Amino acid sequence: MIRPGLTQIISLLLLSATASGSALAETTTSVDTENVIRTAVVSSNAMVSAANPRAVKAGVDVLAAGGTAADAAVAVQMMLNLVEPQSSGIGGGAFMLYWNAKDKQLLTYDGREKAPASATPEYFFGDDGKPVKWWDAVVGGRSVGVPGTLKLLEHVHSQHGRQPWRDLLLPAIVNAEVGFRISPRLADSIAGAQERKLDLFETTRNYFFNQDGTPKRAGTYLKNPEFARALREIASDGSAPFYSGRIARDIVEAVKTEINPGELTLADLAGYNVIERPPVCVPYRAFQVCGMGPPTSGGLTMGQILLMLENHDLPSMGPSVEAWHLFIEAAKLAYADRALYMADTDFVDIPEGLLNKDYLTERASLINTQMAMQKAEAGVPPQDSAMRFSPDTQIERAGTSHFSIVDQYGNIVSMTTTIETGFGSRVMTNGFLLNNELTDFSRAAEKDGLPIANRVEANKRPRSSMSPTIVFKDNEPMIAIGSPGGSRIINYVTKSVIAILDWGMEPQAAIDMPHVVNRNGSTDLEENTGAALHQADLEKLGHEIKVRKLTSGLHAIVIKDNELFGAADSRREGIAAGF
Q: Using CA atoms, how far apart are residues 177 and 481, in angstroms rounded to an integer?
A: 32
Do 75 and 194 lie in one domain? The reply is: yes
Res 283 pLDDT > 60:
yes
Q: Which of 94, 64, 148, 170 is nearest to 415 (CA)?
A: 94
pLDDT per position as a tens digit, 421-438:
999 999 999 999 999 999
Cα-to-chain-centroid distance, residue 522 = 24
Closest CA to 440 of 389, 394, 398: 394
Residue 12 has pLDDT above 50, yes or no: no
Query: Residue 494 domain-assigned?
Result: yes
| pLDDT for residue 429 | 98
In the chain, the number of structural domains is: 2
Cβ pair 224, 207 in contact under 8 A: yes
When pLDDT is averaged across residues 434-463 and rounded to a whole number, the result is 95
What helix, strand, coil percent values describe the chain, rounded to 5?
35, 20, 40
Burial code of 38-63, b = ≥16 C-beta within 10 A, e = fewer?
A: bebbebeebbbbbbbbbbbbbbbbbb
Per residue in 233-282, pLDDT tens? 999 999 999 999 999 999 999 999 989 999 999 999 999 999 999 999 99
Residue 393's pLDDT is what? 66
Averaged pLDDT, 502-518: 97
71 plus 205 within the same structural domain: yes
In this structure, are residues 532 and 14 in contact, taking their beta carbons and an 8 Å threshold? no
Instruction: Clarify whether residues 159 and 259 are in a common domain.
Output: yes
Q: Domain for residue 35, yes or no?
A: no
Name the H helices within 210-368.
225-237, 240-244, 246-254, 266-270, 298-309, 314-317, 321-341, 357-364
Q: Residue 442's Cα: distance from chain center in Å?
A: 19
- Chain segment 102-158, per-residue pLDDT in tens: 999 999 999 999 999 999 999 999 999 999 999 999 999 999 999 999 999 999 999
- What is the separation, in whole angstroms, between the first and last Cα of the chain? 32
Provide the total of helices (H) and of strands (E) in the chain, helices listed first.
20, 23
Q: Which of 451, 474, 491 is the last residue of a domain?
A: 451
Q: Identify whether 518 is part of a domain.
A: yes
- Give Dmax (Cα) for the chain: 76
For residue 168, how many C-alpha atoms fall within 13 Å in the half-sphere facing its CB? 28
Chain centroid, CA 56 distance in Å: 16
Is residue 261 domain-shared with residue 323, that is, in the same domain?
Answer: no
Q: What is the mean pLDDT of residues 500-512?
A: 97
**Domain check: are 346 and 431 in the same one?**
no
The DSSP result for 150-212, as a single string, is HHHHHHHHHHH--S-HHHHHHHHHHHHHH-EEPPHHHHHHHHHHGGGTTTSSHHHHHHHB-TT
360 within domain boundaries = yes
Same domain, 532 and 515: yes
Residue 40: predicted pLDDT: 77
Q: In a 3-state reduction of DSSP, which class is residue 530?
A: helix
Task: Name, in order, each residue with C-beta under 8 angstroms of 538's C-beta and a sequence gap of 6 or more.
Answer: 321, 324, 325, 328, 372, 523, 525, 545
Contact 251, 269 (CB under 8 A): yes
Global confidence as pTM: 0.93
| Dihedral over Cα of 103, 304, 93, 179: its sign | positive
187 and 229 both lie in a single domain: yes
Q: Assess whether 199 and 71 both reside in one domain.
A: yes
Residue 452 has pLDDT above 80, yes or no: yes
394 band by pLDDT with thresholds 50, 70 and 90 = low
Do residues 147 and 214 share a domain? yes
State yes or no: is 400 an active-site residue: yes
User: Are 519 and 297 in contact, with CB atoms under 8 Å apart?
Assistant: no
The answer to whether position 12 is within a domain reads no
Domain contains 334: yes
Four-CA torsion 62, 65, 70, 76, nearest 10 degrees: 0
- Which domain covers residue 286, as residue numbers? 276-375+464-578
pLDDT tier, 29 (very low <50, low <70, confident <90, very high otherwise)? very low
**90 plus 115 within the same structural domain:** yes
CA atoms within 13 Å, Cβ hemisphere of 301: 38
In tens, the pLDDT along 317-372 reads 999 999 999 999 999 999 999 999 999 999 999 998 999 999 999 999 999 999 99
Looking at the chain, the whole-number percentage of residues with pLDDT higher than 70 is: 92
The pLDDT score that the predictor gives to residue 448 is 86
Same domain, 350 and 219: no
In angstroms, rounded to a whole number, what is the distance separating the alpha carbons of residues 53 and 222?
A: 16
Question: Where does 254-303 show beta strands of DSSP type E?
Answer: 275-277, 280-284, 287-291
User: What number is the average pLDDT over the span 166-185?
Assistant: 98
Count CB atoms within 10 A of the CB of residue 474: 8
503 domain-assigned: yes
Q: How confident is the model at residue 388 (pLDDT cuts 50, 70, 90)?
A: confident
| Contact criterion met (CB below 8 Å) for 343 and 350 | yes
Work out the pLDDT band at 174, boundaries 50, 70, 90.
Answer: very high
Of the residues 400, 416, 421, 469, only one is catalytic, namely 400
Q: Are residues 319 and 266 in the same domain?
A: no
Q: Mean pLDDT throughout 71-76?
A: 98
- The answer as to whether 386 is a domain residue is no
Residues 283 and 463 sit within 8 Å (Cβ to Cβ) = no
Share the mean pLDDT of the chain.
92
Q: In this structure, are residues 258 and 170 in contact, taking their beta carbons and an 8 Å threshold?
A: no
Average pLDDT score over residue span 509-527: 97
Q: What CATH number is attached to the domain comprising 559?
A: 3.60.20.40
pLDDT higher than 80, residue 481:
yes
- With 70 as the cut, is the pLDDT of residue 34 above it? no
Rounded mean pLDDT, 518-527: 97
Q: Which of 451, 472, 492 is the last residue of a domain?
A: 451
Let me know if 246 is exposed, middle or buried by CB neighbors in 10 A (0-12, 13-18, 19+).
Answer: middle
pLDDT at 387: 66
Nearest-10 crossing angle of helices 225-237, 246-254: 130
